[in-house]
Amino acid sequence: MRALWNRLKGYDRLKERGDHLFLSGEFGDAGTAYRRARSVLSESDARALAMEALIRSCERQAAGEAGEEEDEFVPGLDDLFELAIGDKPESRAEAYRILGQDFRAGYVALVQGSASRAVHFLERAAEATPSSFVVHLELGRALSLGGRLEDARKALAVAERLAPEDDEGRILSAAVHIERGGFSEARARLLPLVERGGGGPEARFLLGKALAGMGRWEEALDRLRETVSLEPHFHEAFFEAGRILRERGDTEGAFELMKRASDLAPDEVRYARELASLVIERSLDEEAGLAACDRLMVADPGNSWQYLYWIAELYIRRGWTREARDPLEKALFLAPPELRRERHSIESRLRSLSE
């Protein structure tokens, strides 16, 4: 699930951050975020009462946690569940509320990112309510999150049979088919949805990925353009379009789109790696390459040796040969011994600086 709080502003951003912290059990920090959200609302704003109730709930949870240090503290499931379904349309939220405790526990675990725990409870919920569309939908989502794509496909097939016209079910099923390489199956589910104007940017993005997987590049680019026209901050769409252009040999176009994606999501390792490698491979804007490497040093420290090597290469291209020695020496020190070829490349580059 996408972390929306890092791009929203004002009240929405603070509220989303508070919800995330509450769901993670960090009640003190959640209360702080909710208080800041409350501070930007006027006294007459209807949302102020809800914020005050959430602040009191955080205070109770935090006090309970502090007062029962000897026992494991378990947050109220119903409170967590209501927060977890907060972004659902009311009609869908009611369909979630009527289900039992196993479903509630499974859905909260899913939102918290615990796939195995979510699957455990949602499988029990599916046994108890085999005709519930939303149970099979969320079970499929949890199985997908845990990497069990074939099991996810089966669960979502049941969901599709129970509610064949549901947009969310079609989109999630298509996403699983794409992950399994079933691009034509994904297209078959998404195209009718998109053609009748449904599905929003997510459906168009997935349709673009499916078309790209089928080698239908122009159609894929058209769908990705539609995606960002509906949601200008949809960084995945810029990245996928950049990959298509790179594959087709449009280096400049690929660079611009990948840079846009990386600017929108600076902590996304895939984007920064692809951008930096493109800069080095095609001798593009060194400044953008260095900025990407700087982000990678923070976001992916396990591969810092490689980013130091790339930084040195970009320094050399700028004529900064003396400055390049330090990152090369650090890269050689950090590179794992089993990477003999890579270490040899670093050593050779260091020797070349002395010649």
126 within domain boundaries = no
14 within domain boundaries = yes
Query: Is 11 in contact with 40 (CB distance < 8 Å)?
Result: yes
pLDDT digits (tens, 9 = 90+) for 26-59: 888 888 888 888 777 766 665 666 677 778 878 8
Q: Which residues contact 235 (CB under 8 A, 6 or more apart)?
A: 260, 261, 264, 265, 268, 271
Q: Quick one: 50 exposed, middle or buried, by C-beta within 10 A (0-12, 13-18, 19+)?
A: middle
Q: From the DSSP assignment, how many helices (H) and strands (E) are in the chain?
A: 20, 0
172 within domain boundaries = no
Looking at the fold, whether 71 and 1 belong to one and the same domain comes out as yes
Domain edge (last residue) among 264, 292, 320: 292
- Of 105, 154, 100, the closest CA to residue 129 belongs to 100
pTM over 0.75: yes
Domain edge (last residue) among 254, 274, 292: 292
89 within domain boundaries = no
Cα separation, 31 vs 271, in Å, equals 34
- What pLDDT sits at residue 66? 44
Identify each DSSP E strand in the chain by its residue range: none
- What pLDDT sits at residue 84? 84
7 within domain boundaries = yes
Token pair listed for 13 = 């951003």
- Alpha-carbon Rg for the chain, nearest whole angstrom, is 24
Domain edge (last residue) among 75, 102, 131: 75
Query: Is 79 in contact with 18 (CB distance < 8 Å)?
Result: no
The C-alpha angle with vertex 255 and arms to 254 and 260, in degrees rounded to 5, equals 100
Q: What is the pLDDT along the chain (355 residues), one digit of tens a residue?
A: 333 333 334 577 777 778 778 877 788 888 888 888 877 776 666 566 667 777 887 887 777 654 444 333 334 678 788 888 887 888 899 999 999 999 999 998 898 788 998 999 999 999 999 999 999 999 999 999 999 999 999 999 999 999 999 999 999 999 999 999 999 999 999 999 999 999 999 999 999 999 999 999 999 999 999 999 999 999 999 999 999 999 999 999 999 999 999 999 998 999 999 999 999 999 999 999 999 999 999 999 999 999 999 999 999 999 999 999 999 999 999 999 999 999 999 999 999 998 7
Total residue length of the chain: 355
Can you give the residue range of the structural domain that contains 46? 1-75
Query: Is 59 in contact with 31 (CB distance < 8 Å)?
Result: yes
Cα separation, 277 vs 71, in Å, equals 50
The C-alpha angle with vertex 211 and arms to 265 and 170, in degrees rounded to 5, equals 80
- Domain count for the chain: 3
- What pLDDT sits at residue 4? 33
- What pLDDT sits at residue 43? 64
Q: Which residues contact 88 (CB under 8 A, 6 or more apart)?
A: 96
- What pLDDT sits at residue 75? 47
Query: Is 104 in contact with 78 (CB distance < 8 Å)?
Result: yes
| DSSP helix/strand/coil, 3 | coil
347 within domain boundaries = yes
